[in-house]
């Protein structure tokens, strides 16, 4: 059974499992009729905002630590560690060539 969120006119949000995919409304605990909230609509009540890509900077130390972790795990598992730094450089060159507007300072 799918789970849907419903909102009444008072603003109460209720999550319910319903047997029918076309259950567009149900009775809220306050007695009013609650309408199903479409899944693609952002309610804006979770307090999470995703910054634009240009604002999501990764400190170099975190990137190098992640690379070392992947390489260490690969060696432990007996697999040839990938050259992630070279792969990242190739990806950066590709982005700079094909989407320079995404690169800061261009």
Q: What is the pLDDT of residues 38-50, one digit of tens each?
A: 765 444 555 566 6
One domain for residues 66 and 97: yes
Q: Residue 82: pLDDT band by 50, 70, 90 thresholds?
A: confident
What is the pLDDT at residue 76?
92
What is the pLDDT at residue 78?
92
Determine contact, residues 59/30, Cβ cutoff 8 Å.
Answer: no
Q: Residue 106: pLDDT band by 50, 70, 90 thresholds?
A: very low
The verdict on residue 30 lying in a domain is: yes
Select the more confidently predicted residue: 95 or 47. 95
Strand order of the β-sheet with 33-36 is 13-17, 3-7, 33-36, 25-27
The verdict on residue 95 lying in a domain is: yes
CB burial readout 45-72, b (16+ within 10 A) else e: eeeeeeeeeeeeeeeeeeeeeebeeebe
The verdict on residue 43 lying in a domain is: no
The verdict on residue 51 lying in a domain is: no
Residue ranges making up the domain that contains 17: 3-36
The verdict on residue 28 lying in a domain is: yes
For the chain, what is the domain count? Answer: 2
């Amino acid at each position: 059974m799918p789970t849907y969120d419903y909102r009444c006119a008072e603003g109460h949000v209720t999550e319910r499992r319903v047997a029918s995919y076309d259950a567009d409304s149900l009775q809220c605990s306050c007695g009013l009729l609650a309408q199903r909230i479409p899944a693609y609509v952002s309610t804006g009540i979770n307090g999470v905002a995703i910054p634009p890509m240009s604002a999501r900077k990764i400190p170099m130390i975190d990137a190098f630590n992640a690379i070392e972790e992947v390489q260490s795990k690969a060696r432990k598992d007996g697999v040839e560690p990938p050259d992630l730094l070279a792969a990242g450089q190739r990806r950066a060159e590709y982005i700079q060539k094909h989407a320079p507007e995404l690169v800061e300072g261009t």
